[in-house]
Structure formats: C-alpha cells, structure tokens
Amino acid sequence: MAYTAKGTSFDRDMNYIPDRITREPGLSQDKHDDQELTVRTWPAEPGRYRLVAAAACPWANRAIIVRRLLGLEDVISLGLAGPTHDERSWTFDLDPGGVDPVLGYERLQQAYLARYPDYPRGITVPAVVDVASKEVVTNDFPWITHDLFFEWRDHHRPDAPDLWPDAVRDEMDEVMQRIFTELNNGVYRCGFAGSQEAYDAAYDRLWTTMDWLEERLADRRYLMGDAITEADVRLFTTLARFDAVYHGHFKCNRNKLAEMPVLWAYARDLFQTPGFGETIDFDQIKRHYYVVHRDINPTQIVPKGPDPSVWLTPHGRG
C-alpha cells in the first residue's frame, strides 16, 4: 500500500487507477479525489482477467476472500505475489522460476508499465490485470470487492452470500467507513507515526473503535446482524493480523485481540468459516511486515509467535 507523510502523521495515498469492470462497459463520469474523471469500464467476461493479490496484504486479502465466498474461482484467475518486495514492486517469487504462469511476469510492476509507461505511484495489490494485453485494469481495492459482488452476479455460485444487503446498506456504509478510517488504516497510523503526539492520538482513536466493536458484537453474531457482509470481510483482515503484527510491530499494544472476549470469539468464528481462514498465511504475513518495513524493524528479525493453532479453538458464537 502506498502512503505519504504529512508532517508527523501517517497519510495514505488513496489515488488508484479508477477503472472498473462492469456488466455494461463504456465510459462513466466518477468523482475521484474531488475531481470529475472519465472512468473506463471494462466488460465482466469470465476468463478475461487475473486478480493479482498477496496473502500477506490485508487489502488484497479482502479480494481473495470475496472471490471465494462468491464462487468466482473459475471465472477470475488468481495470481499470488510473495510476501516480500523491494521499492519497485511485488514479485512472483512463489511461482516456479519466479514468473507468474499466466502473465509471464516476474514483477507486478510490468503490468502497470505495460499500460502506463510512466506510472508515478506505488505498485499495489490487489490489482486486476487483463490477461490478453497483460495490462493492469485497476488497483482500486474498495471498488474491486464491490464490483465482484454487484457486477459479476451472473457468475456467482447459487448459494453465494448477500454481502451488500439492501436493508442495512446505509448503516453498513457508515460502519465500513469507521472501520476503514479508525481500524484498517488506524493500525498503520500508529505504526508509521512520526512523533509521540501523532502516535498517542492514533492509538487513542484505534482503541476507541476496538472498544466500540467489542460492544457492538456482544449482541449480534456479525457486524450487521445474523449474516456475513462485506463489512465483516473488511474487519476480519485487520483482526487476523492484529496479534501477529499490529500489537507489537505497529505498537497497538494496549492489549491483544485474544484478550478481548467478544472480538476474539468473533474473529475465530470468521476464521473457521469457509472462505476466510484458508486465505490466511501467518508466516507470509509476518515476513511481509517485519522484513519489508526496515524503518520500523531494521534487523528484519521475524518473530516465531504467536501460535496459530489458537484460531481453531471453539468460539461459541453459533
């Protein structure tokens, strides 16, 4: 994920390639970074695209989970980059010869440069790549999972969950916005704070929302009620990394997730739900954060714990 620093506080760069994949392709006018932009929309054609993600990255992990929940494995192929990368790009070092078998690329950067030879921003995952041209289509991660649900409905498995239920849509948008600003992004705000004052403010904001979530989930199984929604996916990928990375590496250490009875049970409930836990690779997650973030962890030593088997213990939220 790309980010910029404003003074001593963390500020994420949210400027992404705004193209989308839709049922009815063409051109549309979208509001992007307070400017009206002409956005190209691409056709939702099975077999045309490759989702490039990384098990280490929480933002990419969302797309991996949603693709599985909706049954799109045979519709959109998946390429996985390794957990570590340099300043240029994520790499396909998990594949034989270090080359993605579909795209023929060693680096995700190649797909970006194939479309934008002077691409000025960070090379991020998830990214959707057009297989025929080998060019990146979009890396706008919130829209990727949104469109997997709304624009690929003709190809969902018959019993796919309703991740964006109409009855709670307005409230869900508010919940997801708070989760993004205060938790998904909040852990980074703590980890990359450039002053004690910035860190203290970020820490307080983070734990205010963690306590709010503990209270909210005390009387409901999932964030929006009795069924899993996109909001749960977005929260889960941060919770899954909390004790292994954010608690120590990002100094989010008031307490561990495992010490919050409701949130910890909720996180294990999701982890043990098909589509969630099998997308989590704790070794890759730890290698990514502790090796790539040399400014925070200059020794690049990767901790051995915590024991991942605790995620399989009974959660009691049936």
Binding-site residue set: 90
Are 272 and 315 in contact by the 8 Å Cβ rule? The answer is: yes
Token pair belonging to 251: 């100094």
Token pair belonging to 233: 């996916």
57, 105, 203, 266: the active-site residue: 57
Burial 213-237 (b: 16+ CB within 10 A, else e): beebbeeebbbbeeebbbbbbbbbb
16, 49, 188, 289: the active-site residue: 188
Token pair belonging to 222: 């999932």
188 classed as catalytic? yes
**DSSP label at residue 311:** G
Tell me the C-alpha distance between 142 and 23, whole Å.
18
Stated as kind and residue range, the H or E segment containing 40 is strand 35-43
**Are β-strands 35-43 and 20-22 bridged in parallel, bridged antiparallel, or unpaired?**
parallel
Residue numbers belonging to the annotated binding site for glutathione? 90
Stated as kind and residue range, the H or E segment containing 64 is helix 58-69
**Are β-strands 20-22 and 9-12 bridged in parallel, bridged antiparallel, or unpaired?**
unpaired
252 classed as catalytic? no
Are 240 and 275 in contact by the 8 Å Cβ rule? The answer is: no
Tell me the C-alpha distance between 73 and 57, whole Å.
19
Q: Which residues carry out catalysis?
A: 57, 188
